[in-house]
Amino acid sequence: MAELDTSGGGKKGKKVRSKKANTKVDLTAMVDLAFLLITFFMLTTSLSKPIAMDIAKPDKDDKSTEKNELRASETMTILLGKNNKVAWYMGEAGKSTPNVESFSDVRKSILDNKKKVAETTGGRQIIMVIKPTSGATYKNFVDIMDELAITKITTAPAIDDENITDAEKDFMKGAGIL
């Protein structure tokens, strides 16, 4: 490739021979650069893809009467409030006092409750109800869905932003997170 014949024809004698210069180009740096760029493009094409988090919400117009009843003792409700705070309680609304926590602590609570439910009911899965309120941000919602994925809650969580009871609202107002 990068070589040229610089011998200057086949003339006889040594006096007319032109100076022989070394024209071999050192390709090392160029190859280095090329591979660096290859690596860069390979990584950016596959790594820059965003991640999709699939969410399923209940059908609003579902008129079917066949609905599974949830056992209150196996249900954990998480309310998302403002200032990146959550309130959670087990069982029925109004009967148990919710606990107010920040997002960094809620994972432990979920795991504790999951274990407790599994122990008391003989291996049944905990049922999660997520209720984002008007004070929550979009990030809070994504974070809590992520927490469920991290804590390996395999049952589909119920995302309910319609039926936030008065008892829940009152509590959240009292705690200053609504």
Partner 1 sequence: MTAMCDVSFLLLTFFILTATARQPDPLDVTIPSSTYKLKVPDLDMGILSIGKGKVFYEIVGKDVKMSTLDKMGEKYSIKFTPEERERFGVIGAFGVPVQSLKQFIMMSGDDRTKSGIATGIPADSTNNQLAEWILQSRTSVAELHGTSMRISIKGDAQEEYPAVKKIVDILQKQKINKFSLITSAEGDAK
Cα–Cα distance for residue pair 11/9, rounded to 1 Å? 6
Among 13, 21, 28, 68, binds partner 1 (CB under 8 A): 28
Cα–Cα distance for residue pair 76/86, rounded to 1 Å? 12
2 binds partner 1 (CB under 8 A): yes
Dihedral (CA of 73, 75, 80, 83) sign: positive
Q: Element (H or E) spanning 131, and its range?
A: strand 127-132
Minimal distance, residue 78 CB to partner 1, in Å: 13
> Would you give the binding string for partner 1 spanning residues 33-72, x where CB under 8 A is met?
-xx-xx--xx-xx-xxxxxxxxxxxxxxx-----------
Instruction: Tell me 122's DSSP state.
Output: T
Q: Which among 4-12, 30-38, 69-77, 92-100 is the span making contact with partner 1, rule CB under 8 A?
A: 30-38
Cβ contact 20:7 at 8 Å = yes
Kindly list the residues in this chain that would bind partner 1 in the complex (CB under 8 A). Answer: 1-2, 27-28, 30-31, 34-35, 37-38, 41-42, 44-45, 47-61, 80, 132-143, 145-146, 149-150, 161
